Amino acid sequence: MLELRPTCENCNRPLPRDAPEAMICTIECTFCRDCVDTVLSNVCPNCAGGFERRPVRPAHAWVEGAPQFPPPSTLVVHKPVDPATHAALIASIGGRSPSQR
């Protein structure tokens, strides 16, 4: 089950469980859409993967007998991206789409 980290790893913007602007990569690195688009160029600084919109976790179980949802994580991962290091990563990817990386 997704961890649902509470903030953007770059700018530390709050991203609650229902945030439509929350984006994740395949290893659940979490960033806001603004950082993904304007800072990261859709390249995760931790794994070089692309991003997808993070699903919204329902506030409560609507289906009887469905598994209980764990609460969203409270662990803040704040690692602002170094622009020079990230530019080098983007250059090494050479314009490949996320499915080609």
Residue 57 has pLDDT above 90, yes or no: no
pLDDT tens column, 72-85: 899 999 999 999 99
Give pLDDT, residue 2: 86
So what's the pLDDT on residue 65? 84
- Reported as a single tens digit per residue, the pLDDT across 30-47 is 999 999 999 999 999 999
Asked if the model's pLDDT at residue 67 lies above 90, the reply is no
Residue from 45, 52, 32, 59 nearest 88 by CA = 45
- Residue 58: per-residue pLDDT: 85
Task: List, in sequence order, every residue forming a beta bridge with 53; answer none if it has no partner.
Answer: 23
